[in-house]
């Protein structure tokens, strides 16, 4: 039963990445990644915007994978204020996919601020089948997202 749940989760994660990549609003705006300050070392906070490419996903994945090696569990905050999607290369980046797969057993809380609608739907329903507490927040509730992620 556990293997079936993990496979279902991986399949939905792949579909979600594909949907975000294909549902991009604009391919003209370059993407960016910023590491945000966090209240504790085990809390990873990022801001992504524009049309995010492989370099940004690779940098984020390297940071996340290093934290997975360092901590038993991590909490994540991802802020997407002007996010318009992923390039196909970003959605299929091996390090990004590796971080996504490893997150199934390592991420405790996952908050996403201002996600695209299809991603928000997937995040809000992921509690049913994935071992992570996930929530979405509008940009106006960013402080609440930060507080929720930091709560032990």
Residue 130 and residue 104 in contact, taking contact as beta carbons nearer than 8 Å: yes
Instruction: Tell me the pLDDT tens digit for each residue of 11-49.
Output: 444 444 444 444 444 456 899 999 999 999 999 999 999
What's the chain's length in residues? 152
Give the CB-side neighbour count of residue 26, counting CA atoms within 13 A: 9
Give the per-residue pLDDT at 152.
77
Please give the angle made by the CA atoms of 6, 10 and 13, to the nearest 5 degrees.
135
Residues above pLDDT 90, as percent of the chain: 63
> Which residues, listed in sequence order, are joined to residue 47 by a DSSP beta bridge?
34, 79
Give the per-residue pLDDT at 1.
41
Residue 53 and residue 126 in contact, taking contact as beta carbons nearer than 8 Å: no
Instruction: Tell me the pLDDT tens digit for each residue of 70-102.
Output: 999 999 999 999 999 999 999 999 999 999 889
């Amino acid at each position: 039963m556990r293997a079936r749940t993990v496979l279902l989760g991986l399949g939905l994660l792949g579909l979600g990445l594909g949907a975000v990549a294909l549902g991009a609003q604009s391919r003209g705006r370059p993407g960016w990644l910023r590491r945000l300050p966090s209240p504790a070392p085990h809390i990873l906070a990022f801001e992504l915007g524009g049309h995010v490419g492989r370099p940004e996903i690779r940098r984020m994945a390297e940071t996340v994978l290093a934290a997975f090696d360092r901590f038993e569990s991590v909490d994540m905050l991802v802020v997407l204020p002007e996010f318009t999607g992923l390039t196909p290369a970003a959605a299929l980046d091996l390090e990004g996919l590796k971080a996504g797969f490893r997150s199934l057993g390592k991420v405790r809380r996952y908050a996403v601020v201002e996600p695209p609608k299809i991603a928000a739907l997937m995040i809000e329903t992921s509690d049913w089948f994935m071992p992570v507490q996930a929530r979405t927040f509008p940009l106006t509730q960013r402080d609440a997202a930060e507080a929720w992620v930091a709560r032990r």
